[in-house]
Amino acid sequence: MNDPLAAFLRHLSVERNASAHTLRSYRSDLTDFQRFLIERGIAGFAGADSRVVRAWLAALHARGLDPASIGRKLAALRSCSRFLVRRGVLERNHAREVRSPRQPKKLVSFLPTDEATQLVEGRAIGGASRPRDVAILELLYASGLRVSELSGLDVDALDRTDRAVRVLGKGRKERIVPFGEQAARALDAWLSLRGEQAGALFTNPRGRRLTVRSIYTIVRRSARAAGITRPVSPHTLRHTFATHLLDGGADLRMIQELLGHSRLSTTQRYTHVASDQLMKVYDRAHPRAQPATSEVKNAVSQPESRVRNRAPLQRAAHVSSRAGVPPLQ
């Protein structure tokens, strides 16, 4: 095999149906490894044993890369080496013998309901691009799409009657995601300005498809205009979508399908529901958590407790109206 890296990338593109973004990431990571081998006079992948792989990881650490980036590069090398073993180019996958760096456990960043509402309603956004920007914010929060998925949407992917969007996700896997009434109104307002012609759903003033970087800029600028001081990105709205659905009582498997996760373990990152919300759910659901009859009579004179107990259901209904998911009954 003259060019193992080119053969592996062709395998990803043709047989695995990998996206252009995935191919760029693999090419970047594996080219970095090849450069490391050349600098040390090592003859390609065949000359790289586990000690060489560990030395590469140490060099990445010395360059200041974080454990997540190093782990991603090691995973790319493992995948490529596995492919080369199957093709008979390598005898062993030495990258499998090297342990991935320990990943710090970080809770995903999300916005509370009031800040999310303030952001997506876009009351602080002005200018001719406001209808487009509000439609972007509403759809991100209502559907939990990845920013690359949103950027790649065409007008014909929208089902405005059933309020759903057809998405081409990672691995070119297609899924249908519903969106709520507010997002539908925002999209109608944008399309009345853009026009109903086929093509990219979200465009710049020159009529070209908005890039991922442009959408990042729109979200960050809108967050600053809304007075939100914490860092906000399109992925923050994806985290917010999943967290608010889970907080409102949605099933984890359903959230997995909506997000397009291939593994449930990825979706389980969103189980960081606040302890007070967990206690409210427990109090509603567990038969021994309810007060005795005499205590209920005494509680009649405390209306504030009834209002407090309605809050989770009210919040679930609010989130569901935007996400297009039936509220809890």
Residues annotated as catalytic (active site), given as ranges: 146, 170, 235, 238, 261, 270
Quick check: 319 and 244 in contact, CB under 8 A?
Answer: yes
Q: In a 3-state reduction of DSSP, which class is residue 178?
A: strand
CA nearest neighbour of 75 among 98, 42, 43: 98
Strand partners, 174: 168
Which residue's structure tokens are 């200041």? 64
Name the strand (E) or helix (H) holding 165.
strand 164-168
Quick check: 148 and 170 in contact, CB under 8 A?
Answer: no
Report DSSP letters for 46-75, one per residue: GG--HHHHHHHHHHHHHTT--HHHHHHHHH
Q: Which two tokens stand for residue 41?
A: 């006079």
CA nearest neighbour of 324 among 270, 250, 215: 250
CA nearest neighbour of 241 among 326, 149, 146, 166: 146
What is the C-alpha to C-alpha distance for residues 259 and 238, in angstroms, rounded to an integer? 8
Extract long-range pairs of 268-276: CB within 8 Å, 24+ residues apart: 269/107, 269/108, 270/108, 270/239, 270/242, 270/243, 270/246, 271/246, 272/107, 272/108, 272/243, 273/243, 273/246, 273/247, 274/247
